[in-house]
Amino acid sequence: LKNLQIAGDWLYGEDDSQRLYRLHLDGTGFAKAYQLEMVQPDPPGTTVVTGLGVDNANLAGDVQFASDGQWLYMADQSFAGGIIRMEADGSQRTRILERGGRFLNSVGDWLYFQDANAYGSLARVRTDGSGYGVIHDGVVLRLIVRDNWIYFIQDYAERSLWKIKTDGTGLTQLHAGP
């Protein structure tokens, strides 16, 4: 932990991803001092939506654009941030989410992305802007969605390869990193 502060009987500090933790001054009670809005697992029998979340040719950069065939979605990298939905010609621009996003993927009615406002965690939102939630509380560097799975690289130092279902279940490490 770094950037240590004391408040009352608690010591607070952040990790490398700026997540805040606390520890009682007697050394007990180490815990997160933040809370994210996590998604709930899909009910049994939920239909799997198939498809590739972003064209492989679009993976070279931060993947600021994704399309569902009808709409184009853009991660607004300006000071305002957010995710914008628009027609391919740029008309009918609507900010559907007021959170900074990167590595956009679109499958079915959902957008999957790295949420800059949630410490770089993996998140999703419906293409109309509803249903926002964090899928995985960990720093996600790159991601690609295929069918019911999200494949991603986690952590700046570790750079391990993982997969998780789009509803936040089934987290599995595929490779431990270099």
* Banded model confidence at residue 59, pLDDT cuts 50, 70, 90: low
pLDDT at 58: 54
Round the average pLDDT of the chain to a whole number and report it: 86
* Banded model confidence at residue 170, pLDDT cuts 50, 70, 90: very high
Whether the pLDDT of residue 46 is over 60: the answer is yes
How many C-beta atoms lie closer than 10 Å to residue 57's C-beta?
Answer: 6
pLDDT at 78: 66
Min mean pLDDT across 28-32, 47-51, 66-70 is at 47-51
DSSP state of 116: G
Q: Which residues of 89-104 are buried (b: 16+ CB within 10 A; e: fewer)?
A: eeeeeeebbebbbbbb
pLDDT at 68: 84
With H, G, I as helix, E, B as strand and everything else as coil, classify residue 117.
Answer: helix
138: its two tokens: 């960990």
137: its two tokens: 């509380």
How many C-beta atoms lie closer than 10 Å to residue 22's C-beta?
Answer: 18
Distance CA 115, CA 101 (A): 5
Min mean pLDDT across 16-20, 68-72, 146-150, 155-159 is at 155-159
64: its two tokens: 């600021």
Whether the pLDDT of residue 56 is over 70: the answer is no
pLDDT at 121: 94
* Banded model confidence at residue 128, pLDDT cuts 50, 70, 90: very high
Whether the pLDDT of residue 35 is over 60: the answer is yes
Whether the pLDDT of residue 43 is over 90: the answer is no
Min mean pLDDT across 39-43, 114-118, 149-153 is at 39-43
